[in-house]
Amino acid sequence: MPKLVGVFESPGPVKGVAGKLQGRGFRNLEIYSPAPFPELDDALDSRPSPVRLFTLVGGLVGVVTGYAMTIWMSLDWPIMIGGKPFASIPPYTIIAFELTILIGGLLTVLGLFAVGRLPRIRLDSAYSARFSADDIGLAVECEDRDVAELEALLRDFEAKEVTLVEA
């Protein structure tokens, strides 16, 4: 299927045209931008990013591991230290805290990779070095018969260039 790529200078119109295209039933849309723009975050998918779940799970695994490891190890070979209980919660809280951060942080990054579909070997055919310069790109996959109409639509929304690539 052909793929049209519109090149834009600012994020506002991209959001507009993406909404319009989605309304018309085009599902294979992609936006490329050189910087994060709050306007574009929800342009294609308004659901909250699932990365948050990864952090939550990582943090919980960390805190449980922290307490379980310290308590189990202290009881595995009990040594009385300073008259304190073998499993002494206050000092172990420090270990549990650090592991919460450690595993929570690592799983967050795993979430970024999973949700952002990284790493990948090949770049999209619609991607261009311009989209890591100043321009914002919107790629839409369509039928042959829609090409001319979509080109006009993209230009209506201030696309300064429209390119056709084969998907």
Partner 1 sequence: MAPPPAESVAARIAPAPLQRDSKINRDLLSVMDPPSLKYFLLLGLAILGVVQAAATLLWQTWEGLGIAGYAHPIFWGVYIVTFVFWVGIAHAGTLISAILYLFRAKWRNAINRSAEAMTVFAVMTAGLFPLIHIGRIYKFYFLLPYPNQRGLWVNFKSPLLWDVFAIGTYATISIVFFYVGLIPDLAIARDRSTGWRKLLYSALSLGWQGTSRQWKSHNRTVLHLSGLATPLVLSVHSVVSWDFAVSIVPGWHATIFAPYFVAGAIFSGFAMVLMVMIPVRRIFGLEKYITDYHFENMARFILLTSTIVAYAYGVEYFIAWYSAVEPEQTAFFMRAFGPYWISTWIMILCNGVFPQLLWIPRLRTNVAFLFVLSVLINIGMWFERYVIIVGSLSREYETAVWGLYIPSAPELSILAGSFCWFGMFFLIFIKIFPVVAIAEVKELAIHERAHGGAH
Q: Which of residues 40-79 bind partner 1 (CB under 8 A)?
A: 40-45, 49-52, 55, 59, 69-70, 73-74, 76-77, 79
- Pick from 23, 25, 83, 121 the residue near partner 1 by CB under 8 A: 121
- Pick from 19, 24, 28, 112 the residue near partner 1 by CB under 8 A: 112
| Residue linked to tokens 């045209």 | 17
Q: What is the DSSP letter of 132?
A: G
- Pick from 28, 81, 125, 156 the residue near partner 1 by CB under 8 A: 81
- Fill in the amino acid letter for 34: P
> Which token pair is 7?
């090149």
23 interacts with partner 1 by CB under 8 A: no
153 interacts with partner 1 by CB under 8 A: no
82 interacts with partner 1 by CB under 8 A: yes
Smallest separation, CB 162 to partner 1 (Å): 6
19 interacts with partner 1 by CB under 8 A: no
**Cβ neighbourhood burial of 6 (10 Å; 0-12, 13-18, 19+):** buried
Q: Which residues pair with 118 in a beta bridge?
A: none
CA distances to 87, 147, 154, 167 from 100, in Å: 19, 51, 47, 43
- Pick from 57, 64, 102, 141 the residue near partner 1 by CB under 8 A: 102
- Pick from 17, 21, 104, 153 the residue near partner 1 by CB under 8 A: 104
Smallest separation, CB 164 to partner 1 (Å): 4
**Cβ neighbourhood burial of 71 (10 Å; 0-12, 13-18, 19+):** middle
Residues 127-146 that bind partner 1 (CB under 8 A): 127-134, 144-146
89 interacts with partner 1 by CB under 8 A: no
Task: Residue count of the chain, please give it.
Answer: 167
CA distance 71 to 73: 6
Smallest separation, CB 17 to partner 1 (Å): 13
